[in-house]
């Protein structure tokens, strides 16, 4: 499969009163066409900001992309300005994003038909009538009954699950090559969440899209993702195929994260402590303070680069890399 997106050394900072927060720190990964990539981590680990950086949607100031490149379809996204024409023509057309909160991402004062047709008119220059027709068609594809009639409805007239369906339909209008779902189903009830995930999976397979799933729900990743990036304190600390990571987690954080999920008849093993503050971090491993495998050298060495151990399976743990004889 062809390489769709290659991110190299992406670093995003936020200037705050207390200092510079490196929300995304030297992140490199790739995604191929038709692939589902899961990005997991806890709040503040930079999973959302890394995706917003790619879309050039990080608010600036205080945010700033300070380094890195992101080659998408042969062009470097990070070279374009936030408000550049090039970026506007990519956003929503070749790359779309679905956000967590459908109520805040949809315009409450504009009916669904108008919001959806706007996408087609701007990107593809279709006529209003054609845009409306295609919007209705897309709405029925995501399982909204009476689609033509509902185009006249406003976001508040839809339930939470239906609103998220509208978001998916809107993101799919120009058949993008890459879809980014940022905690797209987190705010929904379990049965509705299951409905939407299956729908998303169906659509992604039907159009052969690449999907980046940003989530903190390990279950969702385990079910749908082909590969996983595990993020901690702004860095990718482990990456590999979903099965490899579950069968043989290399980084102590990944191991802890997997054992944090309650399983029947097993004592729950929690990771002690809290994620570190991201202001003025020392160059050592960010997981050091919470790690149960830490060694004395860990306090001295800078954190390892993400290094492959076995094929695609890579980790940034000094101890594990040494054990594997890689570092």
Partner 1 sequence: MSENNVVSTSSEVTSTPQTGNTIDVTNLKMYFPIRRGLLKFKVGDVKAIDDISFSIKPGETLGLVGESGCGKTTVGRCILRMYEPTSGSVVFNGRDITHDKQSQLRSVRRDMAIIFQDPYGSLDPRMSAGNTVGEPLKIHKLTKTKKEYKERVEELFILCGLNPDMSDRYPHEFSGGQRQRLSIARALAGDPSLIVCDEPISALDVSMQAQILNLLTTMKEKNNKMSYLFISHDLLAVQYISDRVVVMYLGRIVETAPSVELYANTRHPYSQALLSAQPMPDPVAEETRQRIILEGDIPTPLNPPPGCSFHPRCTKATKECSEVPPPLRDIGGEHFVACHHA
Residue numbers at the binding site for partner 1 (CB under 8 A): 42-43, 159, 161-162, 189-195, 197-198, 216-223, 242-243, 246-247, 256-258, 260-264, 268-272, 274-275
Residues forming a β-bridge with 313: 310
Residue 155 vs 176, nearer CB to partner 1: 155
Residue 90 vs 197, nearer CB to partner 1: 197
Closest approach, Cβ 187 to partner 1, in A, equals 10
Closest approach, Cβ 76 to partner 1, in A, equals 33
Residue 3 vs 216, nearer CB to partner 1: 216
Tokens of 247: 């069968």
Torsion over CA: 36, 40, 46, 47 (sign): positive
Residue 76 vs 189, nearer CB to partner 1: 189
Measured CA to CA, the distance from residue 196 to residue 198 in angstroms comes to 5
Residues contacting residue 6 through CB under 8 Å, at least 6 positions apart: 30, 69, 70, 71
Specify the 3-state DSSP secondary structure of 180: strand
Q: Are 317 and 250 in contact (CB under 8 A)?
A: yes
Residue 38 vs 92, nearer CB to partner 1: 38
Helix (H) or strand (E) holding 1: none
Closest approach, Cβ 108 to partner 1, in A, equals 20
Q: Are 53 and 24 in contact (CB under 8 A)?
A: yes
Closest approach, Cβ 50 to partner 1, in A, equals 17
Closest approach, Cβ 327 to partner 1, in A, equals 26
| Nearest in space to 242 (alpha carbons), one of 234, 253, 252, 254 | 254
Closest approach, Cβ 63 to partner 1, in A, equals 22
Residue 242 vs 318, nearer CB to partner 1: 242
Closest approach, Cβ 235 to partner 1, in A, equals 16
Q: Strand 235-241 relative to strand 227-232: parallel, antiparallel, unpaired?
A: antiparallel
Residue 113 vs 240, nearer CB to partner 1: 240
Residues forming a β-bridge with 311: none
Tokens of 142: 């995501």
Helical H runs in 183-269? 190-207, 218-224, 242-247, 252-259
């Amino acid at each position: 499969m062809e390489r769709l997106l290659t991110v190299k050394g992406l670093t995003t900072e936020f200037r705050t009163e207390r200092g510079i927060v490196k929300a995304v720190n030297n992140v490199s990964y790739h995604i191929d066409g038709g692939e589902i990539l899961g990005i997991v981590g806890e709040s503040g680990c930079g999973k959302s900001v890394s995706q917003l950086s790619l879309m050039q949607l990080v608010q600036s100031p205080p945010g700033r992309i300070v380094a890195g490149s992101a080659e998408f379809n042969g062009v470097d996204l990070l070279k374009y300005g936030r408000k550049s024409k090039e970026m506007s023509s990519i956003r929503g057309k070749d790359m779309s994003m679905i956000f967590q909160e459908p109520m805040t991402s949809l315009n409450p004062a504009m009916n669904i038909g108008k919001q959806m047709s706007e996408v087609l008119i701007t990107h593809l220059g279709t006529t209003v009538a054609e845009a409306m027709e295609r919007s209705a068609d897309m709405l029925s594809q995501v399982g909204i009954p009476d689609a033509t009639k509902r185009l006249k409805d406003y976001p508040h007239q839809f339930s939470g699950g239906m609103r998220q369906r509208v978001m998916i339909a809107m993101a799919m209008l120009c058949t993008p090559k890459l879809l980014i779902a940022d905690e797209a189903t987190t705010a929904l009830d379990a049965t509705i969440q299951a409905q939407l995930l299956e729908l998303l999976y169906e659509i992604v397979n039907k159009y052969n899209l690449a999907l980046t799933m940003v989530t903190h729900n390990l279950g969702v990743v385990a079910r749908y993702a082909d590969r996983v990036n595990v993020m901690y304190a702004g860095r990718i600390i482990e990456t590999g195929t979903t099965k490899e990571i579950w069968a043989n987690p290399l980084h102590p954080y990944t191991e802890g994260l997997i054992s944090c999920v309650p399983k029947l008849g097993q004592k729950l093993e929690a990771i002690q402590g809290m994620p570190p503050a991201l202001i003025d971090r020392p160059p050592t491993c960010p997981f050091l303070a919470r790690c149960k495998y830490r060694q004395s050298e860990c306090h001295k060495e800078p954190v390892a680069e993400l290094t492959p151990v076995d094929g695609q399976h890579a980790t940034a743990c000094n101890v594990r890399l040494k054990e594997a004889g890689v570092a």
